Amino acid sequence: MHTRYFICLALALFGLMSCNQAQKGVTEQEALNQATGPFIGLDGDTLQKVEKTDKEWKAELSEQAYYVLRQAGTERAFTGNFWNNKKKGVYICAGCGLPLFSSATKFESGTGWPSFWEPIRKENILEVVDKAYGMTRTEVRCARCGGHQGHVFDDGPKPTGLRYCINSVALDFVEGSDKP
Ligand code: FE
């Protein structure tokens, strides 16, 4: 009887520890290492992780996309292509094409950045602690290419209460079905 109790307790503790690890608190490198793929693309195809040098990213992205995706910059509010986009479709990573958000979970946050209450798949994004500018925030990255997308806050609408605040320039939009 005691043994069974002990095993239950051990399992519960282990579960808690794994949960904590999967949540906020992981460093950028830990999060990137954990994301091994494979990932599911827009056509249901299997995609491998994307790893490119800084030089390669710089050559292939626009200046603004490079600044946001690879240098964790932020576009000015109300300037991007998607904060006011009300069309039905899927938002994919501008760096690697991985489906990240659906128009079905987009809402008007009034912030001037496209905002979603949930990603398409939890495993398609990485959440990393960001202590820049004297604040502790949770940074959101694309799990396939590591590209910075924005941040997630806990003041979003139901059902999740989350607000994924994303830079338009980090996304491309594929109009059509809102299900990848
Ligand atoms: Fe990506």
- Indicate whether 27 and 101 sit together in one domain: no
Does residue 140 come out as left (phi exceeding 0), alpha (psi in the -120 to 50 range) or beta?
Answer: beta
Distances (CA, A) of 67 to 25, 70, 138: 25, 6, 19
Token pair 């904060």 in the structure block, residue: 83
- Indicate whether 30 and 100 sit together in one domain: no
Q: Which pLDDT score, from 0 to 100, does residue 138 have? A: 96
Q: Which pLDDT score, from 0 to 100, does residue 29 have? A: 77
Quote the tokens at residue 117.
């209450």
Q: Which pLDDT score, from 0 to 100, does residue 27 have? A: 74
Q: Which pLDDT score, from 0 to 100, does residue 48 have? A: 94
Give the tens place of pLDDT for each residue, 62-80.
999 999 999 999 999 999 9
Give the tens place of pLDDT for each residue, 20-63.
333 455 777 777 787 888 899 999 999 999 999 999 999 999 99
44 is a domain residue: no
As for how many domains the chain has, the answer is: 2
Cα dihedral sign, 78-81-83-86: positive
Residue 43 CA to ligand 1 centre (angstroms): 16
Residue 141 CA to ligand 1 centre (angstroms): 8
Residue 131 CA to ligand 1 centre (angstroms): 22
Residues 3-25, mean pLDDT to the nearest whole number: 43
Give the tens place of pLDDT for each residue, 133-153.
899 999 999 999 999 999 999
More confident residue, 128 or 18: 128
135 is a domain residue: yes
41-77 b/e with 16+ CB inside 10 Å = b?
bbeeeebebbebeeeebeeebeebbbbbbbebeebee
89 is a domain residue: yes
Give the tens place of pLDDT for each residue, 72-103.
999 999 999 999 999 999 999 999 999 999 99
Selecting among 96, 142, 145, 165, the annotated active-site residue is 165
Residue 35 CA to ligand 1 centre (angstroms): 12
19 is a domain residue: yes
Please, which residues have CB less than 5 A from ligand 1, an ion?
A: 93, 95-96, 98, 142, 144-145, 147
DSSP strands (E only) in the chain: 39-40, 46-47, 89-93, 99-102, 106-107, 115-116, 125-130, 137-142, 148-153, 163-166, 171-175
Q: What is the pTM of this model?
A: 0.84
- Indicate whether 16 and 82 sit together in one domain: no
Residue 12 CA to ligand 1 centre (angstroms): 34
Give the structural domain span for 126: 54-175
165 catalytic per annotation = yes
Whether 19 shows a pLDDT value over 50: the answer reads: no
